[in-house]
Structure 1
Amino acid sequence: MSITLDQSTVLVTGANRGLGKAFTEALVAAGATVYAGARDPESVTVAGATPVRLDVSDDASVAEVAARLGDVTVVVNNAGIGRGGSVLTAASLDGFREELETNTLGPLRVTRAFAPVLAANGGGAVVNVLSALSWATSPAVGGYSASKAAAWSLTNVTRGELREQGTLVVGVHVGYLDTDMAAHVEGPKLPPEDLVAQVLEALENGDEEVLGDDTSRFVKSVLSGPPAHLVV
């Protein structure tokens, strides 16, 4: 199940900045037709992409877009948020709920809505942007990590369910990216363009997983070890 990018019509969620913007730019450059989804479509600045109003945390918004964009062959579930803080001592669980709505239920909503569209168009692909924190965690990012862990599990579930209709499902794991979301973090950060290049290559090759950097490769390698190794 390989994807020919210059013959693809792609929806990118969270396309107005960071990794989403990098996906949008690279896909336009590769010759794809690109719908750039964002809560505020006026914030999409990539020439050659079509801005689309889309809130992945809202059922009606996702359903409306799926009904309108019947030519989509590839979905990139990129939209994500990070609220930070301890899930045990935070004043409320509202931040964690927001992370679950966007990071976990968001990709699931979009995939559910577009699965029939992809089937009608020959199968296509779904790309889920996950994280090395799908597998490892720390108290400062407990909610984000839990939301991405659930998204990883759902990626595996949807891969199995969509295989029969010929849809490739790609899970993307990476440590810190050099974007606004990780601006406060010190240490190695992968340029988003580098990760995008790996994902587009995976689509063209029909690969189901991308481990984008040394961090994600290391964390996956210790999954079979003691649980303490997965807490930073």
Structure 2
Amino acid sequence: MNIEGSVVFITGANRGLGLEFAKQALARGAKKVYAAARQIESVTLPGVIPVKLDVTKPEEVAAAVAACGDVTLLINNAGIGRTGGALADDAEALLRDQLETNLFGVWRLSSAFAATLGRNGGGAIVNILSILSWVNTPTLGAYGVSKSAAWALTNSLRQELSAQGTQVLGFHGGFIDTDMISAFDVPKSRPEDVVRQTLDAVQAGQVEVSVDESTRQVKQALSAGVYLQDALAH
């Protein structure tokens, strides 16, 4: 689909990748950009329409869908990241917290907007996933579980929405220079670069995009069992 003339709805649009998606959507000629965030006052980018939205609250999702009936491109960007693995002392809380946002948040928005996209010609959904959808590490084990689940959901949505012509694009990337991973002293991609690649992939009709070399290498190595290793040990 073409970004120019589209109506874009972005979750977690007040900072980081979400903010960059909003900037580039406007620059590419989007007719309208809805910028959703838990604190509506944190959305300060000129030219967007702020929307109050916590993706873990069904009533706020329903209100957003009712108010934004012209959406043609949904970008499920909102997510949280917590350190800790599947056997941490607080593993159940870590898993539930991250699954609620990173899996069920994506599901809530996608299922709620599905009919809207269908009525508006099919449109597209972009789900922000991770290199940790495919490999994992004890440092971010619970987060990786949530992103693997979101990857499976993305693949299911693609199949279920194909009949109405909705493009479903899975975004996979490693560390990106945003607030969420500011504590990690590792090489990071620039938000500008990964967002540009993602919107290019939307326009090209693609269903998956790997936005950095590490992620592309991991994808190629899946059949060799790369997922059996610690992703941060190499």
TM-score of the superposed pair, with normalisation by structure 2: 0.95
- Distance in 2 (CA, whole Å) between partners of 1:103 and 1:86 is 16
Q: Secondary structure at the match of 1:224?
A: helix
What are the Cα deviations for residues 174-193 of structure 1, in whole angstroms up to 9, with x where unaligned? 00001111111122110011
**8 A contact 1:134–1:146 mirrored in 2:** yes
Q: How many residues in Structure 1 have an aligned counterpart in Structure 2?
A: 230
Q: Which residue of 2 aligns with 1:225?
A: 224
Q: How does 1:131-150 map to 2 (within 5 A)?
A: 131-150=130-149
**8 A contact 2:138–2:230 mirrored in 1:** no
Q: How does 1:180-191 map to 2 (within 5 A)?
A: 180-191=179-190
What are the Cα deviations for residues 196-228 of structure 1, in whole angstroms up to 9, with x where unaligned? 101111111111111000111111111112353
- Structure 1 residue 162 corresponds to structure 2 residue 157: no
TM-score of the superposed pair, with normalisation by structure 1: 0.96
Q: How does 1:73-84 map to 2 (within 5 A)?
A: 73-84=72-83
What are the Cα deviations for residues 1-50 of structure 1, in whole angstroms up to 9, with x where unaligned? xx121210000000001000000111111121100000011101211001
- Structure 2, unmatched stretches of 5+, are none
**Taking every aligned residue pair, what percent have the same amino acid on both sides?**
48
Q: How does 1:187-226 map to 2 (within 5 A)?
A: 187-226=186-225
Say which is worse superposed, 92-101 or 45-54, in terms of deviation: 92-101
**8 A contact 1:83–1:96 mirrored in 2:** no
RMSD, matched Cα: 1.1
- Structure 1 residue 22 corresponds to structure 2 residue 20: yes
- Distance in 1 (CA, whole Å) between partners of 2:131 and 2:141 is 13
**8 A contact 1:103–1:147 mirrored in 2:** yes
- Distance in 1 (CA, whole Å) between partners of 2:136 and 2:14 is 27
Q: Which residue of 1 aligns with 2:97?
A: 98
Q: How does 1:2-151 map to 2 (within 5 A)?
A: 3-32=1-30, 33-91=32-90, 93-151=92-150
Q: 1:151 to 1:91 in 2, by over 3 A?
A: closer
